[in-house]
Structure 1
């Protein structure tokens, strides 16, 4: 999906750069996301935050398991 229409930057490009360890500011400088009209900034920042190792939900998805909210029977 195209996140930044002005510079034709996709969500996959943003995620790939974030997984490589780049911050939003680095990605913005590299790809030009959120440098024209700015309407994509919130979505782009959210994508970067979700890829952060310190973000608990992203860490679960990166490990290959997703938390579904259900508890396992003990």
Structure 2
């Protein structure tokens, strides 16, 4: 689903950014452009980022510090 209509960022793009190494919301924003225009999507983008990081931490305990 589209999270950021202004920049055309989907939940898949946010998850991909995390999978490719983004370790926090700031890094996801920089990589995707999500929430850099009107900002209405920031809460949803942050939630998807947190969820993806938490899932990674469950699979890889060495990433637990990132949450």
Shift, 1:61, TM fit = 7.8
Superposition RMSD in Å: 2.0
Q: Say yes or no: does 1:37 pair with 2:38.
A: yes
Runs of 4+ displaced beyond 6 Å: none
* Distance in 2 between residues matched to 1:62 and 1:17, nearest whole Å: 17
Structure exhibiting the larger radius of gyration computed from Cα positions: 1
Give the TM-score taking structure 2 as reference length: 0.74
Higher relative contact order structure (alpha carbons within 8 Å, sequence separation ≥ 6):
2
Q: Distance in 1 between matches of 2:3 and 2:34?
A: 8
* 5+ long unaligned stretches in structure 2: 61-67
Corresponding residue pairs, total:
59
Alpha-carbon deviation of 1:37?
Answer: 0.9
Distance 1:11 1:34, change over 3 A: same
